Structure 1
């Protein structure tokens, strides 16, 4: 029996799309919540530093200390965000590969071992 390639391609499209939506659904909300919280904290700290600089409340050394602190907060946020996104990309990749192997198995009537799966 020959496969209908159009129908097979549609099956892969549906399987991959569904898998990506399932994997990213709740994670996207968590990432957005984390980002919003961290950005709010960074914005509030920045506003505080700006207000203190405006009223000339810092010595030169204190000013540099607080500005460096803001830089570290921003760097920490970005580094953490990148790491979260890298984990998410890996989860999506693994889910897509599994969906492809499962779909091939269904179409071919065989059970395929998914690479990297336990």
Structure 2
């Protein structure tokens, strides 16, 4: 019996979408929480530095020290955020590949080993 390709495509869409939602559900909340906390800390530190500069409370060397510190905070935040996103992308990719292979196996009625999953 030939496969109904429209139904098969719908199966893939449903399985891939479901898998991506499952994988990203908790992670998106964690990433958002991390981002909010880090941005809040960066904003508070920036406001403090701006206030001290406005009050002319820093020497030139202190001003550069604190501005460099803000730069490092920003760089650290962005670097960590990118690394978290890279891990998330890899998790999504692996989940999508697994969903595809599982769907092929189900539709074709055969066991499909997922690449890289030891199966």
Q: TM-score range by the shorter chain?
A: over 0.9
SS at the partner of 2:78? Answer: helix
RMSD: 0.4
User: TM-score with structure 1 length normalisation?
Assistant: 0.99
1:6-39 superposed Cα distances (whole Å, 9 cap, x missing partner): 0000000000000000000110000000000000
- Rounded Cα–Cα distance in structure 1 between residues aligned with 2:17 and 2:48: 45
Matched with 1:82 is 82
Cα shift at 1:116: 0.9
Query: Hey, what does 1:12 align to over in structure 2?
Result: 12
Instruction: Please state if 1:65 is matched with 2:84.
Output: no
Give the corresponding residue for 2:102.
Answer: 102
Determine the C-alpha separation between the residues in 2 that align with 1:94 and 1:116: 9
Alpha-carbon distance in 2 for matches of 1:81, 1:116: 26
Displaced runs of 4 or more, over 6 A: none
Aligned length: 118
Unaligned 5+ residue runs, structure 2?
none
Which runs of structure 2 are paired with 1:23-42 in the superposition (5 Å)? 23-42=23-42
Distance 1:114 1:68 in 2: 48
Distance 2:117 2:63 in 1: 52
